Chain A
Amino acid sequence: MKITGKKINPAFYLMTIPIAILFFIFHTLPFLKGVFYSFTDWQGYGNWNFVGLKNYLYVFTDPDVTGSYIFTFKFAIAATILVNVLSLLLAMGLNSKIKFQNTLKSIYFLPYMLGTLIIGFVFNFIFANLVPQFGKTFGISALSTNILGTDHAWIGILIVTIWQSLAFNTLIYLAGLQTVDHEIYEAAEMDGVGTIKKFFKITFPLIAPFFTINMVLSVKGFLMAFDQIMAMTGGGPGNLTTTISVLIYKRGFQGGQFAVQSANAVVLFLVVVIISIIQLRVLEKREEKLN
């Protein structure tokens, strides 16, 4: 291919190439190394041999791995649905003409600015001390124990995850809603279209690309959930809240299964990629239909 006419300003290369190199050194290279080591018996140091697909076969025989996958999917599906429904509602509220609009926007965006670990530790305290105290004072037995120490620990984590993830998704939906022309709504109102119909026939189809982005990013992010779980439960009680990422970390670094968990990480990577591609295909097809 030949670029005719205009000369390309070298400044553009200066903008893109250094980052590409950094990205390659600090992201792509370690990733490729990880893939490589997943075919060896490397412990993280010392000598190693090629073992072929042994690690991959081992991963699937470990019952804890299967259990973690089931939990991870349950968590990711619940979080994706709740986050997207709630953030769309929030975005529509914030997009309408209300008082304190900007203040509210910044309040909802605040959680995004805080580190997940810090949020995890703060909520750890809330669940361990404040909520049980509240429950005891008002005699509500369901609230008087630390939820993170029960069967329902994952709900505690879900609440925190949703609270934090709302910010970013709301922002994207808000950007989407602002691209919708107000004249369309005015025209619809003249035709006497109801609020619900207006949403499903006008708003939702017009922000479909933003819905696609949010869905793909949410699922990807929640399938790889790690920080909040390490901060809040460390995967417990028992193994109840161990996601795949947490399992990879615990077994790979603390359990001396570096190569095996590299294989597990490759499997997780493939799972995330495949799900993302399927999502993109399905949702983009839907976008085309709607447009």
Chain B
Amino acid sequence: MRKFSKQLSCLLAILLFVASLAGCGSSSSSGKEKIEVFSTKNAENTEILQSMATEFEKTHKNVNVEIVSPSDAGTVLKTRLTKGNLPDVLAMGGDATFMELQKAGTLEDLSKKSYVNSVQPAYKKMVTSISKGSGLYGVPYATNASGVLYNKTLFKKAGVKVPQTWDQFIAAMQKLKKAGIQPLELTFKDSWTTLPIWNGLAGSLQSKDFTTQRLKNKTTFAKTHQEIAQKYLQILNYAQPDFMGTTYNDGNKAFALGKAAMLLNGNYVIPELKKTNKKIDVDMFPLPASNDAAQNRITSGVDVLLAVSKSSANKEAAEQFISFMMKKSNAQKYVDDQFAFSAIKGVEQQDASVSGIRNNIADGHVVNFPDHYYPAGFDLASLLSNLSLNAENGMTTNKNVTQFLKKADTSYNTANVQN
């Protein structure tokens, strides 16, 4: 009896182990070539991707396209990288996760492909500048823009024109305040919303070689970012009370309902605003960080790039799908659906709610998000949140700025270790 039980338990153990392994590697094969398209946009763009996939399958009968977009996609992607099981096509941001995938040598070089020629050089450069080697490992597809969103109706009511310089910007906010209109709605309860402001200021004000110099430890924030931090604090003076406790969703709602004249964030907020108030008359302009109007550029980064994984079994089909997506008509469909901008020459976002920055983007008068160049472990949002909290608690600007810049340098250095 005892022997039997021992055998039984052994058997059970083996069974369980095998069962748990079988769950991991599922590879079913039908006659069709299957390509998996993985989007990191949290279901925001699944619908439009799905419609493109259906369209594509009509002309490519032997290919089956599967769109996947889990929540917390970055983590899922890293887990799948661990297992050596990357999706065939990646539709992801030009961000730290892309940098990691590219540095790990998991992506195909697409620089020689014909569809790359139609991409705006400014955006191509944004991808190559964060890549290892000289190839183009992700084709820029859709881009976003960050700056100032303003309520046109309220601007008119207060008699305020779109400001071109920093002084005009501050004067505009004072004028709005005098007219009894809340100039700014900030949503710092979600600390990432501090970053668009920082990016807007730093993008136009920091010296061009700062990111590379800082990476090599040849310069510091303390030496170069005094003005940026001070201007950041100056902006806070025009925010609503309790801006530290306002969430992104609540702030967007308040802005959409006309309770404030400006939001400092990106074009991706617009669909949210229209959900609350269909009739809102909103437009954007670049954050005028400098008094030299020519220096003020819109912050714009690669929101979606397309990449092919090296381990893909169906590279040809994967590239056919990318080439299909890159067609002008399809790219237009995508940006219309997503309120985004296109990285492809001649494809423009026509919506009135972004008309104020359309030309900046079409001319390539853009600067990438400075925080895309920071090391992944550098949590600037927390530091900015802390800077804002100190200001709210009445710390003097000088002390606050010095302390913040010092902290930024140490945090940067701790995060900037190459293992």
Contact = CB atoms under 8 A, between A and B. Distances in A.
Given A128-B246, A239-B386, A250-B379, A13 B82 contact: no
B191 A234 contact: yes
B189 interface: yes
Interface string B224-253: 000000000000000001111111001000
B250 A128 contact: yes
A20 to B, nearest CB: 9
B9 A17 contact: yes
B134 interface: no
Given A146-B189, A149-B189, 12 more contacts: A13-B8, A14-B12, A63-B414, A145-B244, A146-B245, A149-B245, A151-B389, A236-B382, A236-B385, A255-B377, A256-B377, A259-B419
A129 interface: yes
B257 interface: no
A119 interface: no
B386 A51 contact: no
Interface stretch (B13-21, B46-54, B320-328): B13-21
Given A44-B81, A253-B75, A257-B377, A147 B4 contact: no
Interface of A: 7-8, 10, 13-14, 17-18, 21-22, 25, 41, 43-46, 51, 58, 61-64, 124, 127-129, 132, 144-151, 234-240, 242, 250-251, 253-257, 259
Contacts of A13: 5, 8-9
Given A132-B245, A255-B379, A45 B386 contact: no
Contacts of B70: none
B389 A45 contact: no
Q: Which 9 A-B pairs have the closest CB atoms?
A: A146-B245, A238-B386, A149-B245, A149-B244, A255-B377, A10-B5, A41-B419, A45-B81, A256-B376
B245 A128 contact: yes
Contact of A129 (B9, B250, B378): B250
A130 B64 CA distance: 50
Nearest to B75: A253
B246 A14 contact: no
Interface in B361-419: 376-379, 382-383, 385-386, 388-389, 392-393, 410-411, 414-415, 417, 419
Nearest to A250: B379
Nearest to B241: A145
How many chain B residues sit at the interface, stated as a range, is 35 or more
B382 A239 contact: yes
Contacts of A149: 188-189, 242-246, 389
A18 B247 CA distance: 47
A51 B82 CA distance: 20
A61 B242 CA distance: 35
Given A237-B188, A256-B377, A146 B1 contact: no
Nearest to A238: B386
Given A10-B8, A129-B250, A238-B383, A51 B419 contact: yes
B266 interface: no
From A128, A148, A238, residue with most partner B Cβ within 10 Å: A238
B415 A18 contact: no
A21 B13 CA distance: 7
